[in-house]
Amino acid sequence: MTGQRQNFYKQVHKGIRAVAHGMVDLAQRTDFTRPGEVEQLQAVVDEAFSIFEGHAAHETEFITPVLRVCAPQLAAESDAEHREQALRLRDLRRALQAAARAGSSSLGHAFVVGLSRFEGEMLVHMADEEERLMPALWAAFEDDALGRIHAALVASIPPAEKPKVMEWMLPALNTLERVELLEAVRATVPPPVFEALQHIARRVLTAADWNRLEQALATAA
């Protein structure tokens, strides 16, 4: 029953999990004595951390105030975890900078271990949001109200950033979820914008995934 209701965590969390997994995988394969590899890792980490911070900021602005009304204890716990995450990201940035400056394998491995711990904690945090926070919202609000909250959150993302969100989110979804996402977008944007998003999908998906998506979108149209 609940699986059929508005769950505005589901798709973005899939994307964030994929970003986090890829980042940690790259980190543990990085040779910290090779500056070129470290620079590549720094670029990936910078982008991933920006995604994590942006996601937490959106939740704090749009979801936490609603939770304070219907589930104040859960809202307080979520707020505290977001603050802790911000401190952890700050410390991890510093650890990566230190490993990069020293070209040290030992400092690099310490960063990898810390990064993997952060990933694990973030995965638990996101699971709690879907298993505890979302049901509290379902119990307190109808889907129309939840849809308005989600629409306000999405509208707050600058237009220039939305294609980038699609780049890291689409590969993490299954075909039905990709169709659902793109159909929702198609209903609200001019055709040229939707065509640009289709080009992004073609670029970031495998050929087989793109073919399935293209056929499904054609059928839906």
Spatial CA neighbour of 18 closest among 157, 218, 168, 134: 168
- Phi/psi for 41 (5° steps) reads -65, -45
Average pLDDT (65-91) is: 97
Cβ neighbourhood burial of 192 (10 Å; 0-12, 13-18, 19+): exposed
Rounded CA separation 132/126 (Å): 10
Q: For residues 57 and 51, is the Cβ–Cβ distance under 8 A?
A: no
If asked whether residues 185 and 206 sit together in one domain, one would say yes
**For residue 2, what pLDDT is reported?**
43
If asked whether residues 148 and 210 sit together in one domain, one would say no
If asked whether residues 75 and 14 sit together in one domain, one would say yes
If asked whether residues 144 and 167 sit together in one domain, one would say no
Q: Please give the C-alpha separations between residue 39 and each of 73, 109, 117, in angstroms, as whole numbers.
A: 41, 16, 22
**Of 122, 156, 190, which residue is a domain's last?**
156
Per-residue buried b or exposed e for 147-182, using 16+ beta carbons within 10 Å of the residue's own CB: eebbeebbeeeeeeebeebbebbbbbbeeeebbebb
If asked whether residues 129 and 146 sit together in one domain, one would say yes
Check residue 33 and report its DSSP letter: T
Q: What is the pLDDT of residues 21-33, one digit of tens each?
A: 999 999 999 999 9
pLDDT at 216 over 80: yes
If asked whether residues 140 and 176 sit together in one domain, one would say no
On average, the pLDDT of the chain sits at 95
- Residues 6 or more apart whose CB falls under 8 angstroms from that of 170 comprise 15, 178, 181, 200, 201, 204, 205
pLDDT at 179 over 70: yes
Instruction: Supply the CATH number for residue 87's domain.
Output: 1.20.120.520
The token pair at 159 is: 């237009």
Percent of the chain residues topping a pLDDT of 90:
91
pLDDT at 6 over 90: no
Q: How many CA atoms lie within 13 A of 172 on its CB side?
A: 18
If asked whether residues 149 and 135 sit together in one domain, one would say yes
Q: What is the pLDDT of residues 117-173, one digit of tens each?
A: 999 999 999 999 999 999 999 999 999 999 999 999 999 999 889 999 999 999 999
Per-residue buried b or exposed e for 60-76, using 16+ beta carbons within 10 Å of the residue's own CB: eebbbebbeeebeebbe
If asked whether residues 195 and 116 sit together in one domain, one would say no
Average pLDDT (78-91) is: 97
Percent of the chain residues topping a pLDDT of 70:
99
If asked whether residues 26 and 74 sit together in one domain, one would say yes
Dihedral (CA of 111, 18, 136, 55) sign: positive
**Of 156, 173, 198, which residue is a domain's last?**
156
Task: Give me the domain span that covers residue 60.
Answer: 2-156
Average pLDDT (81-98) is: 98
